[in-house]
Amino acid sequence: MKTSNHLHTEATEVLKETSRTFFIPISLLPEGLKEGVGSAYLCMRAIDEIEDDPEMESSLKIQLLSSISTILKEDDPREQLNELLKPHQNRLPEVTSRISDWVIYCPEGIRKEVLKSTSIMAEGMAKWVEKEWKITNEEELDDYTYTVAGLVGVMLTDIWNWYDGTTADKNLGIAFGRGLQAVNILRNYKEDETRGVSFFPEGWNLDEMFAYAQRNLELADLYIKDIDNTTILHFCKIPLTLAHGTLQALMEGKEKMSRNDVEDAVNKVVGK
């Protein structure tokens, strides 16, 4: 078994490689909270890579995601996860093939809640792969964005409470995740179209998706209002501020925020 220092270093490296958005706020968290949020992100990113793999056949995605969902309900899922993924290691990214490491990286006191949210997410992703991500109305869009991002808000709210008793509204936490995901959908919809996928409900245009993202980001603003812990508040405000900025840029016809705008937004949040 890897030492905790080794695992921390490797988890940090994999996190840096897989998430430009969340690496910065996670790196600013104190010991304990950093491992809790970092491991949770890595577990969820591990299954997200399966769902998003453009080369993997749908039947294998469904089988892997459904199996992971079931295995994560076990008291110690590491051995079964390794057995499940070992035959596919050559085609899986490191963040996915090492999900058992991220399980043990997670602090024991919050591990059960992190694995529960990841399990629900994996089951939901398998369902959406089977449905070929066909979204017909806003209710289905809500279901999809809950599965892939709203659950992140639920899990983070559990982590805040575990860490120091910080309380926040889980329903607003779901909106926090939904808002970030809606902005991602808007950022990537042209690329998604090239692979035959659209996350817009039938009949929706850009204006309606802009409005959906804005509604959820406004609820996300309410989510962070009651958070007193400055470190946790900064963690939430960084991606939320970037989401607001990105949405504004997209509504102005730009592809994304400029690098300088991103740096300025982050510095403004953390008081630099």
pLDDT score of 238: 87
Rg of the chain in Å (alpha carbons): 18
pLDDT score of 265: 67
End-to-end C-alpha distance for the chain, whole angstroms? 40
271: region left, alpha or beta (phi > 0 left; psi from -120 to 50 alpha): left
pLDDT per position in the chain (272 positions), as tens? 455 778 989 999 999 998 876 787 888 899 999 999 999 999 999 999 999 998 999 999 999 999 999 999 999 999 999 999 999 999 999 999 999 999 999 999 999 999 999 999 999 999 999 999 999 999 999 999 999 999 999 999 999 999 999 999 999 999 999 999 999 999 999 998 888 889 999 999 999 999 999 999 999 999 999 899 999 998 999 889 999 999 999 999 887 776 676 666 666 776 65
The reply to whether the predicted model has a pTM over 0.75 is: yes
Confirm if 39 and 106 have CB atoms less than 8 A apart: yes
Q: State the Cα–Cα distance between residues 153 and 159, nearest whole angstrom.
A: 10
pLDDT score of 1: 42
pLDDT score of 23: 84
Confirm if 26 and 239 have CB atoms less than 8 A apart: no
- Kindly give, in sequence order, each residue whose CB lies less than 8 Å from that of residue 203, ignoring residues fewer than 6 positions away: none
pLDDT score of 261: 67
